[in-house]
Each structure stands twice: as structure tokens, then as C-alpha cells.
Amino acid sequence: MNIYISMAILYLLLISTFENAYIFGICFLVTMLLSDFIITAIRKFITPNIRIPVSLLITGTIITILEIIIKEYIPGFYNDMGIYIPLIMLIIYDYDSNRNIKDSFKFTLKKSIKYICILIPLVLLKEVLGTNTITLMDNISNVTGYRAVYSVFPQNNLIPLPFLTTSGSFILVGLALGVINKIKEGKND
């Protein structure tokens, strides 16, 4: 299983609103692009045997700065997801010391967007099936001045389904992996 799918599954278990998913996606994108840019820009000055520790130091510093900013300006998101933000470090990306900055940027952007495109629809489905809502702006209300939480279906007895629980998330993961495998199978034919 691809590392991006694995991490999307992990975060699917942790994230319960569409808003938290897209904010986390932005954090992920910024972290990946900045760290890859800095590492690629200074790669000629770093000996190969310390490249991994230096890249971890750079990525960790970016995540720490991001955490401080989030804690200050988006406290609702920080309360929901703050402890999980450092897990971005677990997402190992393909660093190739032979890429130039332009190629590295394109590669990292493509991988990051692929990850976000896996995560956000799953979390959106989880929120709709679990709470019958779509949360566009709630945690960031203090920044934007707006709150946007919408009901999707008319009130009924079917919702909330157990999709906000861990076991419900695994049901969604199973369905998502089935769809992904079916798409891959169709491409191979």
C-alpha cells in the first residue's frame, strides 16, 4: 500500500470535519513544499551521510513554526488536531538529491496534492454520513468572521450513522480501498 494512502487512512481516523481536513491539507502542503525547497536548495552543502538528519531538522522546524502559528490564530483547529500536526513528520516523501529546485517543486506539489485528494473526500464522506453536516468554517471563524456549517439531508432517524467512530472510519477505509483497487484494476485492463 502506498504511503500516501496509509497516511490518509491514519488521518481519516483522526479528522472528523471537512474544515479540519482542508486546514490539515494546507499545513501538509506548506510543510512539504517548504521543507523540500530548503533541502533541495542546500543539498550541495550537505554531505550525504547527514542529509536525513538535516532534512528531519528542517521539516521539524517548519512544523514547529506552523504549530505555533496555528495555536495562536486557529485555536479551535489546534484543540482538535494540535497533537497530530507533528505526525506530518511520519509522511516520508521521495527525496532525490539529483533533482533541481523546479523538478523537486513539481514532484512535491504533485505528491502533496495526491495525498490531499485522497484525504479530503474521505473526511467529507465521513462527516456527512456521521453528522449530516458539512463544516466549511467553524474553527477559523475567529479569523474569517463567518461560521459555515450546513446540514446535508433533511432530518431523519438514519443519521448520525457510526461513521465518526473508529470502526465507522474503518468501514469507509475499506470502501475507499475497494474503489481505489477497482480503479487500478480498470487501468490494467
pLDDT of residue 150: 87
pLDDT for res 118: 80
* Tens-digit pLDDT profile for residues 21-33: 898 888 888 988 8
What pLDDT, on a 0 to 100 scale, did the predictor assign at position 140? Answer: 84
Q: Model confidence over 134-143: pLDDT tens digits?
A: 888 888 887 8
Domain that holds residue 23: 3-188
Q: Which residues contact 71 (CB under 8 A, 6 or more apart)?
A: 78, 82
Classify the C-alpha dihedral 42-34-56-74 as positive or negative. Answer: positive
pTM here? 0.79
Model pLDDT, residue 122? 82
Query: How sure is the predictor about 69, in pLDDT bands with cuts at 50, 70 and 90?
Result: very high
pLDDT of residue 14: 75
Q: What percent of the chain has a predicted confidence (pLDDT) above 90? A: 6
Burial class (CB in 10 A: 0-12, 13-18, 19+), 52: exposed
For residues 39 and 162, the model is more confident at: 39
| Overall domain count for the chain | 1
pLDDT, tens only, 76-135? 888 888 777 877 766 655 555 567 888 888 888 888 888 888 888 888 888 887 778 888
The amino acid at 103 = D
Contact 37, 98 (CB under 8 A): no
- Mean pLDDT score of the chain: 79
Task: Go through 145-181 and write b for each residue having 16 or more CB atoms within 10 A of its CB, e for each that does not.
Answer: eeeebeeeeeeeeebeeebeeeebbeebbeebeeeee
Please give the angle made by the CA atoms of 31, 33 and 36, to the nearest 5 degrees: 100
